[in-house]
Amino acid sequence: MGRGQMILLSSIINEFRDRFLDRYENSVLPSHTKALQTMAQCRQEYGPHMLAKCTDHNCGKQVYIPHSCGHRNCPHCQNHENRQWIENQLSKRLPAQYYLITFTLPKQLRDLAWKNQATIYSLMFACVQDLLKTFTQKDKKLGGAAGFTTILHTHSRALDYHPHIHVVMPGASINTKTALWRVKSSGYLFSHKALAQVFRAKSSRP
């Protein structure tokens, strides 16, 4: 490999996958195994290809180009899509100050979440949505319908299992009956202590 040439994630997976699975076989989910299988073929010569042919009749050169895997967790495939998504979200910005809010699943529920990920993640989203809509509706300066973008992260930067939801939310609301637009310009959106207390209570509710 030449100096400065990018190392493909698929090459790393192919080199270390067997040892990784042997070591962590009991903790790897089927979805993780499937992801590894898919990304292992990303831009590899033995994977799916497409044929590119020069349209010049005097040339006619043909080149087989390896396909990208397109998996949502593949950094090579999703870099462009991520940029497009961000640009699309920025184009929808409202005339209001934006806030970042993070909700983390209580530590005592992580073992349960690991074994029931689809169910727990769905409940987390529902909990956050209900909480923010209620806080916005009851807020004296807002008192209307809320809008926000939610993103689930399942791991921390250290790659520990740490389910949490990031929320990007404008300090604004709209009255669905009168169409009145209201903006909150104070230093904070809601009390973080109140948000944390209600989220913990909702998350731990049987």
The full DSSP string for 150-169 is: EEEEEE-TT--EEEEEEEEE
Measured CA to CA, the distance from residue 132 to residue 93 in angstroms comes to 19
Are 116 and 181 part of one and the same domain?
yes
Are 114 and 193 part of one and the same domain?
yes
In a domain, 75, yes or no: no
In a domain, 79, yes or no: no
| pLDDT above 90 as % of the chain | 44
| Mean pLDDT value of segment 94-115 | 93
Taking alpha carbons only, the member of 160, 136, 133, 163 closest to residue 151 is 163
Quote the pLDDT of residue 5. 56
Chain-wide mean pLDDT for the chain? 87
Quote the pLDDT of residue 132. 96
**Is the dihedral angle over the CA atoms 106, 112, 114, 116 positive or is it negative?**
negative
Measured CA to CA, the distance from residue 3 to residue 22 in angstroms comes to 32
Q: Are 45 and 66 in contact (CB under 8 A)?
A: yes
In a domain, 88, yes or no: no
Q: Is the model's pLDDT at 205 over the cut of 80?
A: no
Are 55 and 149 part of one and the same domain?
no
Q: What is the extent of the structural domain holding 186?
A: 93-204
Are 59 and 97 part of one and the same domain?
no
CB burial of 142-157 (b: ≥16 within 10 Å; e: otherwise) equals bebebbbebeeeeeee
Are 155 and 100 part of one and the same domain?
yes
Location of structure tokens 């399942």: 154
Quote the pLDDT of residue 74. 82
E-strand ranges in 43-180 read 49-53, 62-66, 98-104, 149-155, 161-170, 172-174
Quote the pLDDT of residue 77. 78
Quote the pLDDT of residue 168. 94
In a domain, 76, yes or no: no
Which helix (H) or strand (E) segment holds residue 117: the answer is: helix 117-138
Q: Is the model's pLDDT at 122 over the cut of 90?
A: yes
Name the residue with higher pLDDT: 145 or 84: 145
Distances (CA, A) of 35 to 11, 41, 60, 70, 187: 14, 10, 37, 11, 43
In a domain, 83, yes or no: no
Measured CA to CA, the distance from residue 133 to residue 111 in angstroms comes to 29
Are 58 and 142 part of one and the same domain?
no
In a domain, 18, yes or no: yes
Are 111 and 161 part of one and the same domain?
yes
> For the chain, what is the domain count?
2
Are 22 and 58 part of one and the same domain?
yes
| Local confidence band at 206 (pLDDT 50, 70, 90 cut-offs) | low
Measured CA to CA, the distance from residue 55 to residue 52 in angstroms comes to 9
Are 111 and 62 part of one and the same domain?
no
Are 109 and 197 part of one and the same domain?
yes
Are 118 and 200 part of one and the same domain?
yes
| Count of residues in the chain | 206
Give the three-class secondary structure for 108.
helix
| Mean pLDDT value of segment 132-156 | 93
Q: Is the model's pLDDT at 159 over the cut of 80?
A: no
Of 21, 47, 66, the domain-final residue: 66
Determine how many CB atoms are found less than 10 A away from the CB of residue 25: 9
Quote the pLDDT of residue 142. 93
In a domain, 86, yes or no: no
Are 36 and 97 part of one and the same domain?
no
In a domain, 143, yes or no: yes
| Mean pLDDT value of segment 67-95 | 83
